[in-house]
């Protein structure tokens, strides 16, 4: 079908979901106009200027299981092999002087041997804990990583007797990093979906993909170049406040509209039409989780032993979670990025107190005094993601209003709020418009 000769689609939102939808539509010959409220593309995964350097608004990690993200990167000319550091999954918590360190590394062996050998060679966990973890993984695999009824990750770990070091340094940190929701509140089913596709998949699927460039260069910038090269239009500083009765935006009519915005903004637009009022109420009720990134510019010679180090490991008396060596990753020598995910005690600290706590914890882990940084910048995203709780209803890509589609990480019901979920949702909306549903796409009245 020659859709390009007669179809014009508006994509509202220039984050990764909107850009993925635009790229997919343009590749099929559809005319696309992207409306982005901000002055830059990228949404919550974008670059900003800090003290004369282009940095990210937050540290993001990709996984080898992010098949759609890697495919779209290649399609727009962004070579994953050049732009991402691919390293086997490694969780390293050196611990302070009085603490036992923990380290788990998955070797480059065929699945499932990489996981078995990695668990058995982990430092800081007892043999009994390792055997219990392997039995637990076999049970999850035997059920296809499916639960009869969703529950919290904490409840799942209690039920399957996952305690001790592996709970503190493996399961709970993975949950918080992937779902941006503490284990006590996080969906066990979504967590199992992530494990199924990463450590439960092919060996390469469990690899960590750490950005070697700023986020703009990773996808947003090459996607924008692709869109313009294929005849698409990008309008920045163009916030959409209303969608007219004939799918009109700013006096122009479209055959379809993709709402690739966050849940609150989508709810406000959907509430304007009676057919999508229930969906609007659903999205307006979503809870949010914060993320903070604390950048510290230390002397250039300061390096960490790993590109990514764990700090507290779930200790209730500390605030630190992960610290990234931006010198090892992106060439920003001496620049460290502390990342704090989900709700916690760190939210109550002002920026000065937060930096002091993190610097003290890192000094304890490194077991040496740190020099004073040249500058510190705290980036707080108070509504960074939706709270991925058990049984959270997700919307379908297709809404009850004819021609209006949703895209955004909250639409991809298999995954939590990740870049892969955003990209998958954009692809699903585009293929729904094209009449070629993506795998797992749901259609209907917009509710599940």
Q: Of 248-257, 353-362, 370-379, 428-437, give the lowest mean pLDDT range.
A: 428-437
- The number of CA neighbours under 13 Å toward the Cβ of 339 is 21
pLDDT score, position 60? 83
The Cα–Cα gap between 47 and 136 comes to: 40
* Mean pLDDT to the nearest integer, 182-203: 96
Give the pLDDT band (50/70/90) at residue 279.
very high
pTM: 0.92
pLDDT score, position 14? 97
pLDDT score, position 436? 62
Q: Is the model's pLDDT at 443 over the cut of 50?
A: no
Give the pLDDT band (50/70/90) at residue 439.
very low
Considering the chain, what is the average pLDDT of its residues?
A: 92
Give the pLDDT band (50/70/90) at residue 195.
very high
Which is more confident, 448 or 124?
124
* Mean pLDDT to the nearest integer, 426-430: 97
pLDDT score, position 110? 92
pLDDT score, position 46? 75
């Amino acid at each position: 079908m020659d859709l390009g000769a007669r179809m014009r689609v508006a994509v509202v939102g220039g984050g990764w979901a909107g850009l993925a939808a635009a790229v997919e539509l343009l590749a099929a010959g559809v005319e696309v106009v992207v409306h982005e409220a901000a002055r830059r593309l990228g949404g919550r995964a974008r670059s900003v200027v800090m003290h004369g350097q282009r940095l990210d608004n937050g540290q993001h990690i990709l996984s080898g299981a992010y098949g759609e993200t890697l495919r779209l990167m290649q399609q727009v000319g962004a070579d994953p092999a050049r732009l991402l550091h691919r390293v086997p999954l490694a969780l390293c918590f050196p611990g302070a002087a009085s603490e036992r360190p923990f380290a788990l590394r998955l070797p480059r062996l065929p699945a499932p041997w990489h996981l078995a050998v990695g668990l058995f060679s982990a430092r800081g966990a007892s043999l009994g804990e390792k055997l219990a973890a392997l039995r637990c993984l076999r049970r999850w695999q035997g059920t296809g990583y499916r639960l009869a009824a969703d529950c919290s990750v904490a409840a799942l770990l209690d039920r399957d007797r996952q305690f001790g070091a592996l709970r503190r340094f493996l399961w709970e940190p993975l949950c918080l990093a992937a779902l941006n929701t503490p284990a006590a509140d996080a969906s066990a089913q979504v967590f199992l979906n992530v494990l199924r596709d990463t450590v439960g998949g092919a060996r390469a699927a469990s690899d960590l993909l750490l950005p070697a460039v700023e986020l703009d260069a990773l996808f947003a910038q090459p996607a924008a170049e692709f869109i313009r090269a294929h005849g698409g239009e990008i309008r920045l500083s163009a916030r959409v406040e209303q969608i007219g009765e004939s799918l009109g935006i700013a006096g122009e009519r479209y055959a379809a509209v993709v709402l690739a915005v966050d849940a609150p903004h989508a709810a406000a637009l959907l509430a304007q039409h009676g057919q999508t009022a229930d969906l609007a109420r659903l999205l307006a009720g979503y809870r949010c989780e914060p993320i903070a990134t604390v950048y510290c510019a230390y002397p250039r010679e300061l390096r960490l032993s790993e590109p990514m180090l764990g700090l507290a490991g779930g200790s209730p008396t500390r605030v630190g979670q992960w610290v990234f060596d931006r010198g090892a990753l992106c060439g920003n020598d001496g620049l460290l990025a502390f990342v704090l995910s989900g709700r916690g005690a760190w939210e109550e600290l002002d920026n000065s107190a937060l930096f002091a706590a993190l610097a003290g914890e890192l000094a304890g882990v490194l077991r040496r005094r740190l020099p004073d940084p040249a500058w510190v910048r705290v980036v707080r995203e108070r509504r960074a993601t939706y709270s991925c709780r058990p049984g959270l209803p997700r919307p379908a890509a297709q809404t009850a209003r004819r021609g209006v589609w949703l895209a955004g990480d909250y639409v991809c019901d298999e995954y939590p709020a990740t870049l892969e979920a955003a990209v998958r949702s954009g692809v699903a909306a585009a293929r729904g418009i094209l009449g070629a549903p993506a795998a797992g796409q749901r259609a209907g009245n917009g509710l599940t």
